[in-house]
Structure 1
Amino acid sequence: MPLTRRAVLAGLAAGVPLVGGPARAATGGWPARPIRCVVPYPPGGPTDILARVVMQRVGQRLGQPIVIENRAGASGVIGSAEVARAPADGQTFLANASIQVIIPHLNRQMPFDTLAAFAPVTNFARVPLMLVVTPDLPVRDVAGLIALLREGARPISYGSSGIGAAPHLAGELFKQMTGTEMTHAPYRGSGPAIQDLMAGNIQLMFDSMPSSAAAVREGQIRALAVTTAERIPAFPDLPTIAEAGVPGYEIATWYGLWAPAGTPAAILGRMQQSVAEAMALPALQATLETLGAVPVADAPEDFARFARSEYDRWGRLVRDAGIEAQ
């Protein structure tokens, strides 16, 4: 369930240990030095944006800075593999999107077992995708886009943050449900894809809201709809794809935090607690709302169950869509 400030404060009142002396003692003095948080994409994408705004506050709670390191490549596999190989000492964490449990269904040469190589810490937030187009595309709504695609008078390419990422699957689901065709253009993260969309090198994206919201507000790209079942408070006038002409269409993404498998449970618990406390701050909640992100900050065991269920759900979608790694 979404985190609320009241819920966190109630948990603290019920005896959840506060940061500081007792909590640090319970984790063997951790953290005693700065912490690495690997983002397996270039700067500027939604994972990078969310990790930076959340982990800055978490570092303040822990009393040590958290350094974001971008390790892009192979749809997040390169950076994730680096974390999987890291010592399980609480000094290295991974911030990744739902592709963490999608990519194993596409890549049979994975250098790690996604469900076994990492210790789930918490789900930061769930986030809608936004259907956005380059301003030069002569469409103003979803119906107009579908009509243009069915005409087939011009080639249409849609970008994504990588093969198998939620934005890629959103495009494939849209094609399936509308009986249309367009060419997938994978990038090494949403940041570069958005730049090409603004330049008109690709025509549309199903992009995570944190990376596209600012460009939409500034008029650099045009938003047609959101991919969730309900409208989003950050863009209340923007219809859902379902209500705009594709009944039953629904897809979203989420962003989580993992540590190398074997990281002590006390460290995982304290990191999750610090994330929950940071998420309860009104200033951070306001920032996340602007980005269109709904805070979650669930417990490690709850996130583990959720990640497993998402692994199964996305696997079915990949198989049904016939998506293969290129």
Structure 2
Amino acid sequence: MPRSTRLSARAAALCAITLAGAPGALPSIHAQTWPDKPITIVVPYPAGGSNDSFARQLAKELGDRLQQPVIIDNRPGASGNTGTGQVAKAAADGYTLVAVSASFATNAAVQSRLPYDPGKSFTPVALFAKGPLIVAVNPEFPARTPAELIAAIRARPGLYNYASSGAGSVNQFATELLKAQLSGLDIRHIPYRGMAPAVTDLIGNQTQLLIASGPSLLPMVRAGKLRAVGITSLEPSPIAPELLPLASSVPGYAFELWWGLLAPAGTPADVVGKLNQAVNQTLAKPQIAGNFLKEGAIATPLSPAQFGALIASDVERWKKLARQQGIAAD
């Protein structure tokens, strides 16, 4: 065989070996050029909510770090499932992401016909933040602390109502978790279609209790239209340091909201790594962390694996609670 032929054969063999190792090699090649066009973050809720606010604050910083525009695309519908399902079907190239929250896990616990598989359709990218819920009552309710809240409900079983933004919502899960840890706590669930009417009826004393996010409740508390009696973090929180945790009267009680970023399953690991690094560097900026704190959340960087473990743990936890307490979606 001529020498040139032997060299061509060797080159062909080396090329074949390289392609056979493509699953491990190509992501590195991809990551060297990624991103070379704008990135879209789908927010599966209307503009103005916490998912939207956090995503928009991060988008500009991420765009500066990645040197490409990061575009926010609001695609609301079906309790966040419409936009989330669309991202599950998007190309796994790092250019289409979705900003999700703790409701991703509660939806998975109670909805059997999601347009995606919560455990298989996505690659976890980064956590933005965590934050406790605020426990608020109508000002006429006879309680100012967690201990007084529990005592008042037990003193008049079946009399009081608690509100939520809908059946299967995080508000219902948080309150049913309290009931599960305090056997015999008799308070009736009144689901609403959204947070605004739930807050309105709490102010009007149609319901007496609502456990919801700081941004949903604290403005009404500060205006004197509602009274905050506790917080759902295990320890006192900088979100509202004046409030006692429910755990002070219900040992071990804790419920945390979280917000984070997912990519379609199969997104190259090194692209995910670049995104995670950019998000975590952004969260380290005092201005971003301070803005999040004002909105009821604590900037909380995690690795993709840690974020994935958080989601899996929450899904299993809420599935168990849903079975125990009879929580179901509309």
Q: TM class, shorter-chain normalised?
A: 0.7 to 0.9
Residue 244 of structure 2 is aligned to residue 239 of structure 1: yes
Out of 55, 60, 65, the position equivalent to 2:59 is 55
Task: Mark the CA change 1:182 to 1:272 in structure 2 (over 3 Å): closer, same or farther.
Answer: same
Question: In 1, Cα distance between the equivalents of 2:42 and 2:275?
Answer: 15
Residue 128 of structure 2 is aligned to residue 124 of structure 1: yes
Q: Name the structure 2 match of 1:99.
A: 103
Q: Name the structure 2 match of 1:288.
A: 292
Question: In 2, Cα distance between the equivalents of 1:101 and 1:180?
Answer: 25
Structure 2-normalised TM-score? 0.79
Q: What residue identity is the alignment partner of 1:83?
A: V
Task: Mark the CA change 1:223 to 1:269 in structure 2 (over 3 Å): closer, same or farther.
Answer: same
Residue 247 of structure 2 is aligned to residue 224 of structure 1: no
**Matched residue of 2:33: which SS?**
coil
Residue 240 of structure 2 is aligned to residue 268 of structure 1: no
CA shift for structure 1 position 94: 1.1
Question: In 1, Cα distance between the equivalents of 2:114 and 2:68?
Answer: 33
Residue 90 of structure 2 is aligned to residue 90 of structure 1: no
CA root-mean-square deviation: 2.8
Contact conserved, 1:159 with 1:185, CA < 8 A, in 2?
yes
**Matched residue of 2:229: which SS?**
strand
Out of 254, 257, 263, the position equivalent to 2:261 is 257
Aligned residue runs from structure 1 range 295-314, under 5 A: 295-314=299-318
Out of 321, 325, 328, the position equivalent to 1:321 is 325
Q: What residue identity is the alignment partner of 1:63?
A: Q
- Mean CA deviation greater in 139-148 or 291-300: 139-148
Q: Name the structure 1 match of 2:45.
A: 41
CA shift for structure 1 position 133: 2.5
Contact conserved, 2:161 with 2:190, CA < 8 A, in 1?
no
Q: Name the structure 1 match of 2:6.
A: none
**Matched residue of 2:319: which SS?**
helix
CA shift for structure 1 position 42: 3.0
CA shift for structure 1 position 191: 5.6
Q: Name the structure 2 match of 1:157.
A: 162
Task: Mark the CA change 1:309 to 1:30 in structure 2 (over 3 Å): closer, same or farther.
Answer: same
**Matched residue of 2:287: which SS?**
helix
Question: In 2, Cα distance between the equivalents of 1:305 and 1:181?
Answer: 34
Question: In 1, Cα distance between the equivalents of 2:265 and 2:52?
Answer: 22
Q: What residue identity is the alignment partner of 2:260?
A: G
Residue 179 of structure 2 is aligned to residue 175 of structure 1: yes
Question: In 1, Cα distance between the equivalents of 2:126 and 2:222?
Answer: 30
Question: In 1, Cα distance between the equivalents of 2:141 and 2:52?
Answer: 28
The runs of 5 or more residues in structure 1 that have no matched partner are 1-22
Q: What residue identity is the alignment partner of 1:30?
A: P
Moved over 6 A (4+): none
Question: In 2, Cα distance between the equivalents of 1:294 and 1:91?
Answer: 26
CA shift for structure 1 position 169: 0.9
Question: In 2, Cα distance between the equivalents of 1:258 and 1:85?
Answer: 12
Summarize deviations over 1:162-206 as a string: whole Å, max 9, x none.
433432211112223342333334456546644554565543321
Task: Mark the CA change 1:307 to 1:248 in structure 2 (over 3 Å): closer, same or farther.
Answer: closer
Out of 77, 81, 84, the position equivalent to 2:85 is 81
Out of 212, 221, 226, the position equivalent to 2:217 is 212
Question: In 2, Cα distance between the equivalents of 1:183 and 1:153?
Answer: 7
CA shift for structure 1 position 119: 1.1
Out of 133, 137, 141, the position equivalent to 1:133 is 137
Task: Mark the CA change 1:309 to 1:180 in structure 2 (over 3 Å): closer, same or farther.
Answer: closer
Contact conserved, 1:132 with 1:225, CA < 8 A, in 2?
yes
The runs of 5 or more residues in structure 2 that have no matched partner are 1-27
Question: In 2, Cα distance between the equivalents of 1:67 and 1:201?
Answer: 41
Q: What residue identity is the alignment partner of 1:36?
A: T
Question: In 2, Cα distance between the equivalents of 1:198 and 1:267?
Answer: 47
Q: What residue identity is the alignment partner of 1:321?
A: Q
Aligned identity (percent) is 38
Task: Mark the CA change 1:43 to 1:222 in structure 2 (over 3 Å): closer, same or farther.
Answer: farther
**Matched residue of 1:36: which SS?**
strand
Summarize deviations over 1:199-252 as a string: whole Å, max 9, x none.
655433211234434443344432110011100123222111122x33332221
CA shift for structure 1 position 28: 2.1
CA shift for structure 1 position 159: 1.6
Task: Mark the CA change 1:205 to 1:316 in structure 2 (over 3 Å): closer, same or farther.
Answer: same
